[in-house]
Structure formats: structure tokens, C-alpha cells
């Protein structure tokens, strides 16, 4: 433990990498909250995969591994991928999951083809380009980290500025647009910010696992709180902690890749949160259910004849006569849905 | 972002709160609304009634541009929706959102003010006060700090109503406000409707329970792809019109069961036994 701390504080390389990974974890944690709440988790996945051809084209244009070109390429093609998903959903009858799958695989396929071609050109400077697949945090330089921090700070500032509008976008976009708040534009902006978050993470986590950094901290944070602002802060913290811990641990053993380790740590936090968070955790819910069942069993067994269940409305007996089971969610969800006629 | 508008000026013009002309909406190539003409006069409590898939919700959404129109137009108070949206409050179906969203009741109601609060600024004390007052009107003041995932269906509905009330609109478009709500909520909504009417507001609500149309509303629009009829309930809510609207998939109660209605104006049973 002490060695780890020493490394983090005093080893230049480890410190740089850890800082970079902290920025990446915090930024993607914040934006992941909106992606998860809008049920667009896989949107980030498609976007990240779609960044690969951009990285390769950036390399071809720049004639070498110029970080700026690679990242600009990644952002542009990730963005195009996102637009392609929206285009397919709007312009065809395919549903969103199919559109995501098609765009993700197509862009990634193109990226792999380009990557393979570049690798076979014999251009010496291409070595390491394939690290964008799974990331290679160890190559992060202080300059990279500064760029990441700058971009990350801009992203976070915009989220703070448009917090109220993004919340509306995530909760009820149709209603939001009746208020005159430009939901379409805000959606585009949010997608842009997610693109930046993905690009920030490409070097250290890579295109394949990047989606986990959007989904995992946000999902874990949701388990512990019922307030959006707290969820966002917590997701940033959990993302940053995964980043730093992953960077530090992988620095102990060169055979352990940083990116995947960060992702595994973030996932471990999710599992822990799913199991043990109060109120929403599996353990809590299970105990609660057992307690309720005991109570219900006690109430149902005692007392003769038909017992009104606790909280049950008076029409329960009518439903019984119809042979129906009272499942309020069905009718609630589709109050107009036809009730099937019984023969 | 926008200032509260000058209601008096618009009223004087006498234009109806909602006027729809030649409205046609299609999903892909299938029309869901065909050439609908509808005028809702000021102060009316108007029910939009029709079978499943008749285009009732679509009609509301299309007037506000939430669903693209294939043809036709809708004017509010004689103007384009975009320039009078402050005067129109929308209450979507409560099942249209995820109630597991991490927020509380007061926050959701405050969202009704986001358009007025404008960019960057946060809701202030006055905004929260307005939201609390709206919650009080629907009997939900005690639930202000309640997490929204803990609400019953009826409470969710009242939260949505309160969210539109803070807008202080003159016309309210409500999508199935009575759907699947408990008796308390039903009473609260009825009280709210009559309060809105006495305040001179206009309400257009999608409604599916034919047996309560003449109790809750004074104006009705019968819709099934086309507009079958629209007007005062006592004139329009007739056996013949309902028959056309529901295409015979409806059974009628004898008028003796529903006293107070003259011949030919019978109350229809809920046509849920069949459907599209």
C-alpha cells in the first residue's frame, strides 16, 4: 500500500498516467449519468467503436502518430457514427438496438481494415497504433494529460451550465420541447460532449472497452442515491477512483494492461453497489421481500374466509370472479388496451 | 428566456384557444389522423373520445408539433404554437416517462417553469413556492420531497398536472388524465377541472371512459381517424355519433339506467370488450 502511494505521488510516469485516468474516469462518469438515464448506454459504445476508423484516417492524413490528428479523427468519426445511428432510426423501420449494432460493427470493421492496411505498409511509425483498441495508458505524456484535463474541464463546465436543461432532456424531452427548450439541440450537444469523453478515454482505455467507463460509474452511483446531482458527483468520484486505482495497480506489474484493469475495477464497484446498496441493492430488496412475505403470510392465514389484503382495493373480489389477477402495471401502462374476450 | 405574456390582449382578439384545420398525420404511409377540423371555444372542458388507435393522443401531439403533420395546421389563440406556447400547458401520459428517475416531486413540478427561468439560471425560491402552490392545488403538497419512484399511479398523474399548472397557461392539453387513477386522484382532477373552468381556462383532454364524459366535460370531440363530430356534449354525444365512432363495437345501456338523458342520448358502456 505504501509502495503504491509512493509510486502515485513521486513516480513521474505513474503519476501522469494516474492523473490522466482520473480525468477520464471523472468525465465519463458524469456524462455516463445522462447516457444511462436516457437509456443510451449502448449509444456510447457505438460511438466509441466508431472512433477507430477516424484514428486510422487521422494517422494517414498526418502521416504519423500526431496525437491531435488522431484525436480529431476519432472525434469526427465517432460523431458521424452517432449521426448514422440517428439517421438509421429516423430513416428506416429498424429499431434503435439494430441501428446501434449495424453502425457499431460497420464502423469498427472499417477501422480494423484500415488498421491492418496501415500495419502492413511497413511504415515504422505505425507501431502502437493498435493500442487504441484496448488503450495503453503507460504512453500518456504530461502534455496529453493536460489536454485531457482541459477538454474534461470544458465538458464539465458545460454540463454545469446546462444542468437544468440536460435533466429535462433526460426525464421528459417531449414535455421539455413544449416549454420552448430546444431539446433537439441539447441532445446534439450532449452527444458532442459524450464524444469528447470517449476521445479522452481512447488512449488509455481504448475503443472497445470505453463504453464501460460511461456505463459503470453511473450505474453504480445510481444505486446509492435518489438525487441526480449526488448521482453525478458520485459517478465522477467512482470513475476517478477506478482510474487512479487501475493505473496504480497496473504499474506494479507490467504484464497487467491498464485500460482493462480500470474497467474491471469500475465493474467491481458496480457489482458491489448492485448487491449491497441500501434500498436498491439486491441484499436489501431480498431481505425486504422476505419480511413482507412473512407479514403477508401471517395476515392471510389468520382470520376466516376472504381476507382483504393490506392495501388492496375493494374490487378485488370482482376481479376474482373474472378469473383475473390484479396486476396494476399492465392496465396502468396501457389503460386503453383491449381486454381479451373470454370464450 | 421569455416573459409572461399579455393575456388580456389575446383574449380581446376572440380567437379560439385551439383551432385545427385539415390536420393529417401519418406514421410512415399509414394515416392516423385524416383531415381533422376542430375548434375548441374558450372556457370549454373538451373531451377527445374515440377507440384505441383513433389518433387521440396524436391529435394533441401534432397540434404542438411533437408529431410531424403531413398536412393542415393548428392555431392557438389565433397564432402559431411557437409564439404562444406560454399559454399552452401540456400534460403527457404519465407512462411516457421513467418514474425511477433520480429526483423528487417538487423538482419535477419545478420543471414546468424551466422555459420561463431561462438558460443557466437555477430555479429560485419563488419558483419553488409556485411549485408548492401547484402541488397544493392537486392535494400533493405533503409529497413535495417524496422520491418520485415511490408515487402511486394517481399521485404521478397529479404531479404531472401540477407541473402544467405552474405554467399558468390558458389552455391545457391533457393526455388521458383519468387513466388508471385511484378515486382520490379522480376527485382531485374533477375539482381541478371545475376550478380551471371558473378561472376561464380551457381544457382539452383525451378521455377513454364514455360513462363519465357528460359528468366531467361540457364539450366533446368524437374521433376515429377522422373527426366524427364535435360540439357541446348534450348535442354531440349521441347514440348515432358514438355508433359511427366506434363502428358498432359498443353496447348501449338502456336510458332508464342513466336517468336524466332523453331518448337518443344514451350513455354508452365502456367499449373495452373489443378493440383494434
Tell me what the pLDDT averaged over chain B comes to: 86
Split at pLDDT 50, 70, 90, the class of B256 is very low
Main-chain dihedrals φ then ψ at residue B209, nearest 5 degrees: -100, 100
pLDDT at B248: 65
Least confident segment among A86-100, B140-154, B219-233: A86-100
State the complex-level ipTM.
0.86
Chain B interface test: which of A36, A180, A235, A336 (most B C-beta within 10 Å): A336
pLDDT at A64: 80
DSSP letters along A80-95, please? HHHHHHHHHHHHSS--
> Can you read off the three cell numbers belonging to residue B76?
392557438
Q: Chain B contact for A226, CB < 8 A?
A: yes
Q: Chain B contact for A228, CB < 8 A?
A: yes
Least confident segment among A119-123, B16-20, B86-90: A119-123
pLDDT at A310: 60
Across the interface, which of A164, A171, A335 has its CB nearest the CB of B179? A335
Do B52 and A337 make contact, defined as CB atoms within 8 angstroms? yes
Across the interface, which of B52, B92, B103 has its CB nearest the CB of A228? B103
Q: How far apart are CA B120 and CA B136, in angstroms?
A: 28
Q: Given phi > 0 = left and psi -120 to 50 = alpha, else beta, which region is B90? A: beta
Give the residue among B40, B56, B276 at the shortest CA–CA distance from B175. Answer: B56
Do B85 and A174 make contact, defined as CB atoms within 8 angstroms? no
Q: How far apart are CA A322 and CA A331, in angstroms?
A: 15
Across the interface, which of B52, B88, B114 has its CB nearest the CB of A168? B114
Whether A228 and B110 have beta carbons less than 8 Å apart is answered as: no
> Can you read off the three cell numbers belonging to residue B243?
355508433
Do A170 and B101 make contact, defined as CB atoms within 8 angstroms? yes
Q: Chain B contact for A315, CB < 8 A?
A: no
pLDDT at B107: 96
pTM: 0.84
Whether A200 and A187 have beta carbons less than 8 Å apart is answered as: no
Whether B139 and B152 have beta carbons less than 8 Å apart is answered as: no
Strand B71-75 and strand B202-206: the pairing is unpaired
Q: Is the pLDDT of residue B51 over 60?
A: yes
pLDDT at B46: 96
Q: How far apart are CA A174 and CA A44, in angstroms?
A: 22
Do A93 and B108 make contact, defined as CB atoms within 8 angstroms? no
Q: How far apart are CA B128 and CA B139, in angstroms?
A: 16
Task: Please tell me whether residue A206 adopts helix, strand or coil conformation.
Answer: coil
Q: How far apart are CA A213 and CA A199, in angstroms?
A: 12
Q: How big, in percent rounded to 5, are the helix, strand and coil portions of chain A? A: 75, 0, 25
Q: Is the pLDDT of residue B272 over 60?
A: no
Q: How far apart are CA A16 and CA A35, in angstroms?
A: 28
Q: Is the pLDDT of residue B73 over 50?
A: yes
- CA of A182 to nearest chain B CA: how many angstroms apart? 10
What does the pLDDT look like over B159-196, one tens digit per residue? 999 999 999 999 999 999 999 899 999 999 999 999 99
pLDDT at A252: 85
How much is the average pLDDT of B230-250?
87
Judge residue B256's burial from the number of C-beta atoms within 10 Å of its C-beta, 0-12 exposed, 13-18 middle, 19 or more buried.
exposed
Strand B30-40 and strand B45-49: the pairing is unpaired
Q: How far apart are CA B60 and CA B69, in angstroms?
A: 11
Buried residues in B18-48 as b, exposed as e (16+ CB within 10 A): bbbeebbbbeeeebbbbebebbbebbbbbbb
Q: How far apart are CA A4 and CA B197, in angstroms?
A: 70
Whether B51 and B246 have beta carbons less than 8 Å apart is answered as: yes
pLDDT at A257: 87
Q: Given phi > 0 = left and psi -120 to 50 = alpha, else beta, which region is A270? A: alpha
Strand segments (E) across chain B: 18-27, 30-40, 45-49, 71-75, 88-91, 171-175, 202-206, 219-224, 226-232
Residues of chain A with pLDDT under 70: 1, 301-343
Q: How far apart are CA A75 and CA A68, in angstroms?
A: 11
pLDDT at B260: 40
> Chain B partners of A227 at a C-beta cutoff of 8 Å?
102-104
Split at pLDDT 50, 70, 90, the class of B67 is very high
Residue of B nearest to A167 (CA): B111
Do B179 and A181 make contact, defined as CB atoms within 8 angstroms? no
pLDDT at B8: 42
> Chain B partners of A170 at a C-beta cutoff of 8 Å?
101
Q: Is the pLDDT of residue B37 over 90?
A: yes
Split at pLDDT 50, 70, 90, the class of B265 is very low
Q: Chain B contact for A90, CB < 8 A?
A: no
Greatest mean pLDDT among A326-340, B127-141, B237-251 lies in B127-141
**Looking up cell 484516417, which residue turns up?**
A57
pLDDT at A320: 44
Alpha carbon of residue A57 to chain centroid: 26
Q: Check residues A335 and B87 and name the one with the higher pLDDT.
A: B87
% residues pLDDT > 90 (chain B) = 76
Whether A174 and B92 have beta carbons less than 8 Å apart is answered as: yes
Q: How far apart are CA B124 and CA B222, in angstroms?
A: 43
Amino acid at each position: 500500500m505504501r509502495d503504491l502511494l509512493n509510486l502515485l505521488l513521486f513516480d513521474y510516469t505513474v503519476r501522469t498516467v494516474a492523473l490522466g485516468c482520473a480525468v477520464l474516469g471523472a468525465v465519463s462518469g458524469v456524462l455516463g449519468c445522462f447516457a444511462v438515464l436516457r437509456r443510451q448506454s449502448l449509444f456510447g459504445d457505438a460511438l466509441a467503436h466508431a472512433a477507430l476508423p477516424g484514428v486510422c484516417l487521422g494517422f494517414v492524413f498526418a502521416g504519423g502518430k500526431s496525437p491531435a490528428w488522431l484525436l480529431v479523427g476519432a472525434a469526427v468519426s465517432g460523431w458521424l457514427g452517432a449521426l448514422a445511428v440517428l439517421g438509421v432510426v429516423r430513416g428506416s423501420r429498424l429499431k434503435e438496438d439494430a441501428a446501434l449494432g449495424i453502425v457499431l460493427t460497420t464502423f469498427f470493421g472499417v477501422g480494423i481494415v484500415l488498421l491492418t492496411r496501415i500495419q502492413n505498409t511497413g511504415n515504422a511509425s505505425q507501431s502502437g497504433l493498435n493500442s487504441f483498441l484496448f488503450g495503453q495508458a503507460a504512453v500518456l505524456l504530461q502534455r496529453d494529460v493536460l489536454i485531457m484535463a482541459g477538454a474534461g474541464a470544458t465538458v464539465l463546465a458545460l454540463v454545469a451550465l446546462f444542468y437544468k436543461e440536460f435533466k429535462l432532456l433526460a426525464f421528459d424531452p417531449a414535455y421539455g420541447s413544449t416549454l420552448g427548450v430546444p431539446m433537439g439541440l441539447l441532445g446534439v450537444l450532449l452527444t458532442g460532449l459524450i464524444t469528447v469523453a470517449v476521445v479522452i478515454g481512447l488512449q488509455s482505455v481504448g475503443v472497445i472497452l470505453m463504453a464501460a467507463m460511461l456505463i459503470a460509474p453511473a450505474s453504480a452511483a445510481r444505486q446509492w442515491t435518489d438525487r441526480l446531482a449526488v448521482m453525478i458527483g458520485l459517478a465522477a468520484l467512482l470513475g476517478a477512483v477506478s482510474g487512479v486505482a487501475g493505473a496504480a495497480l497496473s504499474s506494479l506489474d507490467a504484464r497487467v494492461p491498464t485500460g482493462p484493469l480500470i474497467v474491471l475495477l469500475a465493474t467491481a464497484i458496480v457489482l458491489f453497489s448492485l448487491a449491497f446498496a441500501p434500498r436498491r441493492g439486491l441484499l436489501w430488496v431480498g431481505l425486504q421481500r422476505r419480511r413482507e412475505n412473512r407479514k403477508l403470510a401471517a395476515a392471510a392465514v389468520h382470520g376466516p374466509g376472504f381476507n382483504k389484503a393490506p392495501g388492496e382495493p375493494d374490487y378485488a373480489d370482482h376481479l376474482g370472479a373474472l378469473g383475473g389477477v390484479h396486476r396494476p402495471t399492465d392496465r396502468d401502462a396501457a389503460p386503453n388496451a383491449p381486454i381479451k374476450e373470454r370464450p | 428566456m421569455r416573459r409572461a405574456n399579455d393575456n388580456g390582449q389575446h383574449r380581446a382578439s376572440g380567437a379560439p384557444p385551439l383551432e385545427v384545420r385539415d390536420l393529417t398525420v401519418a406514421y410512415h404511409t399509414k394515416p392516423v389522423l385524416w383531415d381533422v377540423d376542430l375548434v375548441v371555444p374558450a372556457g370549454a372542458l373538451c373531451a377527445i373520445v374515440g377507440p384505441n388507435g383513433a389518433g387521440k393522443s396524436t391529435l394533441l401531439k401534432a397540434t404542438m408539433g411533437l408529431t410531424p403533420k403531413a398536412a393542415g395546421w393548428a392555431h392557438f389563440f389565433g397564432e402559431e404554437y411557437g409564439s404562444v406556447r406560454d399559454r399552452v400547458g401540456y400534460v403527457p401520459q404519465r407512462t411516457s416517462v421513467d418514474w425511477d428517475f433520480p429526483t423528487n416531486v417538487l423538482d419535477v413540478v419545478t420543471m414546468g417553469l424551466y422555459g420561463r427561468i431561462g438558460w443557466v439560471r437555477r430555479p429560485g425560491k419563488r419558483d419553488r413556492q409556485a411549485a408548492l402552490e401547484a402541488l397544493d392545488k392537486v392535494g400533493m403538497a405533503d409529497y413535495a420531497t417524496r422520491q418520485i419512484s415511490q408515487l402511486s399511479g394517481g399521485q404521478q398523474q397529479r404531479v404531472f398536472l401540477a407541473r402544467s399548472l405552474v405554467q399558468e397557461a390558458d389552455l391545457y392539453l391533457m393526455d388521458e388524465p383519468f387513466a388508471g387513477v385511484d378515486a382520490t386522484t379522480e376527485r382531485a382532477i374533477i375539482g381541478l377541472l371545475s376550478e380551471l373552468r371558473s378561472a376561464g381556462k380551457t381544457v382539452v383532454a383525451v378521455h377513454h371512459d364514455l360513462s363519465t364524459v357528460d359528468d366531467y366535460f361540457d364539450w366533446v370531440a368524437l374521433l376515429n381517424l377522422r373527426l366524427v363530430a364535435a360540439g357541446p356534449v348534450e348535442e354531440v354525444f349521441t347514440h348515432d355519433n358514438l355508433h359511427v365512432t366506434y363502428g358498432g363495437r359498443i353496447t348501449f345501456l338502456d336510458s332508464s339506467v342513466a336517468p336524466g338523458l332523453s331518448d337518443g342520448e344514451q350513455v354508452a358502456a365502456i367499449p373495452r370488450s373489443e378493440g383494434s
